[in-house]
């Protein structure tokens, strides 16, 4: 099956270090792979409301949620490209994952079963020095646990280092890892 790769950009800043690293990773996609790019800041989601114990069914997603759901189900591979914010995921990425809880409960959608077997990848940049985890461990662990819970495969991660725009371009180890991440 031909790879369909969804790059979800979770930064509050367009064209920041994490996005630059993700674009490097995309250059190594196998021939014939399709790629889509979505910036979560451009597709704001409503706050997630947990209806599990309210006796109400979850509604079919609408608006930006429907667009993100369609793109998520389209993808064979989901690349979460998000900088490490306070040791974890940026709020738009966390909110997107919170909406998965609702999507799993939409009658007839079978979201969890449909996500099983797909691959989840992570690309992040933190502001610590190269060679240090920089506090990205909790972010990576969140995505690993998400993949496990959903029956997905965690494909791997790249952790880059930089603070000011363009800094990651000096992180040779991260650039090399990005070129290998999705190479197939």
Query: How does DSSP assign 134-161, residue by residue?
Result: TT-HHHHHHHHHHHHHHT-EEEEEEEEE
| Domain 4-181 CATH superfamily | Flavodoxin domain (3.40.50.360)
pLDDT at 130: 58
Using left for φ > 0, alpha for ψ between -120 and 50, and beta otherwise, residue 69 falls in alpha
Q: pLDDT tens across 70-109, in order?
A: 999 999 999 999 999 988 999 999 999 999 999 999 999 9
* Nearest Cα residue to 25 out of 127, 149, 168: 168
Range list of β-strands (E), 59-179: 77-81, 119-126, 153-161
- The pTM (predicted TM-score) of the whole model is 0.95
Q: pLDDT tens across 153-167, in order?
A: 999 999 999 999 999
Residue 184 has pLDDT above 80, yes or no: no
């Amino acid at each position: 099956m031909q790879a369909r790769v969804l790059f979800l950009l979770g930064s509050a800043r367009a064209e920041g270090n994490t996005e630059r690293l993700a674009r490097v990773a995309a250059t190594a996609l196998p021939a014939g792979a399709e790629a889509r790019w979505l910036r979560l800041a451009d597709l704001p989601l409503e706050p997630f409301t947990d209806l599990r114990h309210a006796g109400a069914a979850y509604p079919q997603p609408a608006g930006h949620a429907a667009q993100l759901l369609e793109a998520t189900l389209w993808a064979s591979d989901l690349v979460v490209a998000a900088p490490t914010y306070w040791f974890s995921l940026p709020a738009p990425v966390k909110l997107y994952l919170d909406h998965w809880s609702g999507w799993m409960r939409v009658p007839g959608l079978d979201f969890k079963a449909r996500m099983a077997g797909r691959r989840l990848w992570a690309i992040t940049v933190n502001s610590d020095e190269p060679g240090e985890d920089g506090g990205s461990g909790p972010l990576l662990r969140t995505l690993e646990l998400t993949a496990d819970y959903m029956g997905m495969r965690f494909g791997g991660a790249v952790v880059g280092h930089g603070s000011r725009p363009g800094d990651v371009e000096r992180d040779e180890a991260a650039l090399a890892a990005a070129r290998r991440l999705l190479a197939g």
